[in-house]
Amino acid sequence: MILVNLVFKDWKWPIIEIIIKSFSCVIEALGRSACLSHLYGYSIREMGDLKSLVSAAQRIVMSIDASDEAEAHKLAQIAKDSDAGYIKMGLELSSATSWRWCSQLAEEFDLEWIADAKLSDIPNTVAATVRNFKKLDLPPFGITVHIAGGSEAIRLAQEIAGTTKILGVTILTSLSDEETKKIYGVAAAQKVLDLAKMAAEAGLAGIVCSAQEIRAIRDDNDTKDLFLMVPGTRSLGTAHGDQARVTTPTEAIKAGADLLVIGRQVTQSDNPAQAFNNLLTEIEGALNNNGDL
């Protein structure tokens, strides 16, 4: 971009200026590790023909589920070597180390990261916590906050977060439909949609939901443009573990997921690198056969 500006700095024709600026923006965007849709805050379907530039690897959020620093380093290295879009660190790792350490790990490997803090508290406490995240040497790309904590808490969180995306947690993917009915009095699909509407109204960038609710969210005018981060997917033949509302990565991508959180399918594999590559092949197949995404 610097070279372009030096060569054309004296050119004043409007059309030339437009071409130069457009070319410069493309070069800048392609030069960064994050995919284009995430750089500019749009969901992938809003990017039109640029969606072809979003690779399968950049759709993946590698979950660093570890209580040991050495194990966390190993998983971060796999994410880096595989060109994963992001890593996600949550309560397990942060309670064994600290959120500052998590930030430093992401910075060490030059990876965007998501703080899976699942904040759920009074607005003042949530706001103060978000401020603390913003003070880290490498602030997270996103912070998870429970939508059920209330409209004011999530609205204030996004206001303070600025360019950091507040991702509203709907219903944990470990909760079955039956258990969700016991807690909330309605089926998971309905409750997730209700919470998604709250998130959209509060101005959140996106939400966390299971793949089973994606189509309903995409079909609703109030929530169709939300950024969707989807955990709890499992490839065919992979154990579900403690996940209840599960689909395959292929089904999630075809339904309209923006990011897939991948954890134990890779991290607990005997060969994590190979497991990651197998997953990429599956996602690439879904992307190549999904003209509506």
What does the pLDDT look like over 137-177, one tens digit per residue?
A: 999 999 999 999 999 999 999 999 999 999 999 998 888 88
**134 and 11 assigned to the same domain:** no
Looking at the predicted structure, is the pLDDT value of residue 239 above 80? no
What is the predicted pLDDT for the residue at 180?
87
Q: Are residues 20 and 43 in the same domain?
A: no
45 plus 65 within the same structural domain: yes
Q: What is the mean pLDDT of the chain?
A: 80
In the predicted structure, residue 33 carries a pLDDT above the cut 60: no
Tell me the C-alpha distance between 156 and 13, whole Å: 44
pLDDT in tens, 218-228: 999 999 999 99
The rounded distance, in Å, linking the Cα atoms of 206 and 97 is 28
Residues 6+ positions from 147 with CB-CB distance below 8 Å: 154, 168, 169, 170, 195, 196, 198, 199, 204, 207
Q: Are residues 1 and 89 in the same domain?
A: no
> 228 with 271, same domain?
yes
Phi, psi of 260 (to 5 degrees): -115, 125
Of 126-135, 192-201, 215-224, 255-264, give the lowest mean pLDDT range.
Answer: 255-264
Q: Which residues are catalytic?
A: 118
Query: Is residue 99 domain-resident?
Result: yes
Determine the Cα–Cα distance for residues 38 and 163; give it in Å rounded to an integer: 11
pTM of the predicted model as reported, rounded to 2 decimal places: 0.77
By residue range, what is the domain housing residue 9? 1-31
Please check whether residue 132 lies inside any domain of the structure.
yes
Q: Which of 27-36, 99-108, 121-130, 179-188 shows the lowest mean pLDDT across its residues?
A: 27-36
State the virtual CA torsion across 257, 221, 50, 6 in degrees, nearest 10. Answer: -120
Residue 231 lies in a domain: yes
Query: What is the arithmetic mean of pLDDT over 234-241?
Result: 49
In a domain, 293, yes or no: no
Residue 209's nearest CA partner among 189, 186, 235, 187 is 189
Residues 232 and 243: beta-carbon distance below 8 Å: yes
Torsion of CA 69, 73, 79, 83, to 10 degrees: 140
- Residues 58 and 169 reside in one and the same domain: yes
Q: Answer for the pair 192, 213: CB distance below 8 angstroms, yes or no.
A: yes
Question: Are 170 and 88 members of one domain?
Answer: yes
Task: Give strand pairing partners of 169.
Answer: 146, 208
Task: For residues 249-262, give the mean pLDDT.
Answer: 88
Quick check: is 249 in a domain? yes
Is residue 232 located within the same domain as residue 106? yes
For the cut 70, the answer to whether the pLDDT of residue 34 exceeds it is no
What percentage of residues in the chain have a pLDDT greater than 70?
76
State how many domains the chain has.
Answer: 2
Residues 173 and 170: their CA atoms lie apart, in Å, by 9
CATH number of the domain encompassing residue 180: 3.20.20.70
Same domain, 20 and 56: no
